[in-house]
Amino acid sequence: MLIYVSGFLTVVLVLNCALLILLVLMQLPKKDAGAGMAFGAGTADALFGAGSGNVMTKVTKWVAGIFLVLSMVLGMLMTHLHPKETGDDLVRNVQQLAAQDRAQAAQQQRPQGFQAQSLQTPATNVPAGAVTAPATPATKPAVPAAAPQVPATSGK
């Protein structure tokens, strides 16, 4: 159940982020905005004053607040969904998955019953570009099953 809630809240957070980006980009800069704000110029009074501003700035404040609350709620939900996962557990899980992947890859590359054989040919001193006859397999000459009987001759 918490997974569905966290998924829904994540979608809402992404939409909230897109809305917040659009609101900030649509706002017009004021005349005294800029580097003067860093040194406490008149912009700080307008920003932290009695809340004067148009509708767009008020909506931006609400959307930013919703973003903050959603981020905190999602952080707590993720902590409840994955309570005991520490850095060491994560590293151990990644190492186990990597070992399983290597074993599966080795199993898929080698067909069943396949014996690793050396397919290297012996080195010969053949000049480059020379044409050689294809090697013929060595065969044993056929031996008859029984040797023919030679009649014994007598010395008479």
Q: 28-47 pLDDT, tens per residue?
A: 776 655 554 555 555 545 55
Q: 64-123 pLDDT, tens per residue?
A: 999 999 999 999 998 888 777 667 777 888 899 999 999 888 888 766 665 555 555 555
Query: What residues contact 17, with CB distance under 8 A and at least 6 apart?
Result: 67
pLDDT at residue 7 in the model: 92
pLDDT at residue 80 in the model: 84
Task: Determine how many CB atoms are found less than 10 A away from the CB of residue 53.
Answer: 14
142 vs 65, higher pLDDT: 65
DSSP string, 9-58: HHHHHHHHHHHHHHHHHHSPPPTT-SGGGGGT-HHHHHHHSS----HHHH
Among 29, 2, 12, which Cα is nearest to 66's? 12
The two three-digit tokens of residue 104, written as one number: 């599966």
Break the chain into its structural domains and give their ranges.
58-82
pLDDT at residue 129 in the model: 60
The two three-digit tokens of residue 21, written as one number: 């980006």
Residue 134 CA, chain-centre distance (Å), reads 48
Q: Residue 41 corresponds to which amino acid?
A: A
Does the pLDDT of residue 131 top 70, yes or no? no
* Contact (Cβ atoms closer than 8 angstroms) between residue 70 and residue 16: yes
pLDDT-derived band at 156, boundaries 50, 70, 90:
low
pLDDT at residue 1 in the model: 82
pLDDT at residue 140 in the model: 59
pLDDT-derived band at 11, boundaries 50, 70, 90:
very high
